[in-house]
Amino acid sequence: MENLHDTFRYGHKMFYENITIRAIMTLLVLVSFLCGQWPIFEGTPIQRIHHFLTFGAYDYFQRFVGFVFGAKGTNAISSVEYFCCDRPNPILQLIYLAIVGGTYFLVANSSFGYIPGYYIGEIHRYTSLLAVGVGVLLFLLTSFSDPGTVKADNVSQYLSAYPYDNIIYSEKECSTCKIPKPARSKHCSICDRCVARFDHHCGWMNNCIGERNTQYFMAFLLCGHWVILAGQIKEFKVIDILTVYYGIENSFRSLSPHVVQWLLGAYNTQILLMVFLAIVSLSLAGFFGYHAKLCLTNTTTNETFKWQEYVSWQRKLNEARASSAALKASINGMSSERKPPENKWRAMFRRSPLKDVEVVVKNNIYDKGFFQNILEIIMPLSRRQLSLRTKSKSG
């Protein structure tokens, strides 16, 4: 009997380790694909995996098609790439809606039979539909709302709303739209329009994320997922069977691998859905956390890269100035009257002039504090100025 228990425990241990490794690998690939381009992952294996998934693999595929089918094959791939990546199209929107609809159908078909259960009541049938409905509504609001398109008839309100900092933004004209380019705006090459307080173009939304739809985008990311399996564990007395019959220690660490194995055997569809939703939720949580930080500091994704380029350029410029000053001082020392040779050990540990380089400080004039930054997301500056103008005219 003891050998049976040992075999049972060893099998469950191997099973648990196998599941854990697969989950970690799946999460790593998803995070690398979705978030690998973020500044926080620069120079890490996640960035390299992201580069391979988004560029390297596609490059190898193009070469293979070119080798097999010649110029016609590569031209066909280029046409598909142009339609999918360089022009507005609803493909990713339809894929997202299909994923949400298909997942909800599978959840309803496989899990609603257990409602009401030990922990959840009949109302959860309707709250789940409400949660999905709210998520889809926020998705549609973000997709089809105006992100803050800058035109000739409204450019003045954006120019007054966002002053130039003369660091990463200076007064200039959009070379495509031929109108003044407000600070914090950018011309989106995919949508072919200038967008105020431009953050990024989101392929899933088939829309830019800008001044007037950032609040919908953040609310969409905040929308979460939930699962319903805990009640079934209690109803079927899984814990009692494992602890009494198999002699498993009644602790979370000992019971968790066995409970997971039972769930996979009895509710494999629900578990797969749970893992899928958990990974999606973690990805969305990370994306929400990144954008929440940007909102709290009144920065956009576009400005993050601009500041990186500016700080890197200023640092190199300061290092060049320090090196030039050190070289000039060295030449002046050689031309002056000869001094006794410096001790080798002292020369070895002498402080490098590059260590005295002035630290480049990011001076974000748009960061107005926690509450003002949040208010700017909820009620964009251009809308506030427009409402003030309307009130002054009516008064």
Q: Which of the pair, 252 or 272, is modelled with greater confidence?
A: 272
| CB proximity list for 47: less than 8 A, separation 6 or greater | 32, 36, 37, 41
Q: What pLDDT is attached to residue 134?
A: 86
**The total number of residues written for the chain in this structure:** 395
* pLDDT attached to residue 333: 61
Interval 70-128: pLDDT, tens = 888 888 888 888 887 778 889 889 988 998 888 778 777 766 666 666 555 677 677 77
Q: What is the pLDDT of residue 18?
A: 65
What does the pLDDT read at residue 365? 92
The pLDDT score that the predictor gives to residue 67 is 87
Q: At 272, is the pLDDT very low, low, confident or very high (cuts 50, 70, 90)? A: low
Q: Check: CB of residue 17 under 8 Å from CB of residue 25.
A: no
pLDDT at 3 over 60: no
pLDDT in tens, 351-385: 555 555 566 678 899 999 999 999 999 998 888 77
Comparing 192 with 86, the larger pLDDT belongs to: 192
Reported as a single tens digit per residue, the pLDDT across 17-35 is 666 777 778 778 877 887 7
Q: Provide the pLDDT for residue 102.
A: 84
202 tagged catalytic: yes
What pLDDT score does 104 carry? 79
Query: Pick the residue with more confidence: 221 or 147?
Result: 147
Residue 4 above 50 pLDDT? no
- Among residues of the chain, what percentage have pLDDT more than 90? 27
pTM: 0.70
> Mean pLDDT across the stretch 338-344?
55
Task: Tell me what the mean pLDDT of segment 175-197 comes to.
Answer: 94
Mean pLDDT of the chain: 77
Q: Examine the pLDDT at 341 and tell me if it is beyond 60.
A: no
- What confidence category does residue 197 fall into, taking pLDDT thresholds of 50, 70 and 90? very high
| 277, pLDDT greater than 60 | yes
Question: What pLDDT does 109 receive?
Answer: 78
CB 196, CB 93: distance < 8 Å: no
Quote the CA–CA distance of 343 and 53 in Å, as a whole number.
54
Q: Which residues contact 383 (CB under 8 A, 6 or more apart)?
A: 212
Place of tokens 């450019």: 155
| Range with the largest mean pLDDT of 103-107, 279-283, 344-348, 369-373 | 369-373
Task: In whole angstroms, give the CA distance from residue 310 to residue 8.
Answer: 60
pLDDT higher at 224 or 367: 367
pLDDT, tens digit, for every residue of 37-77? Answer: 777 788 888 888 988 888 888 888 888 988 888 888 888 88
The one catalytic residue in 202, 208, 223, 295 is 202
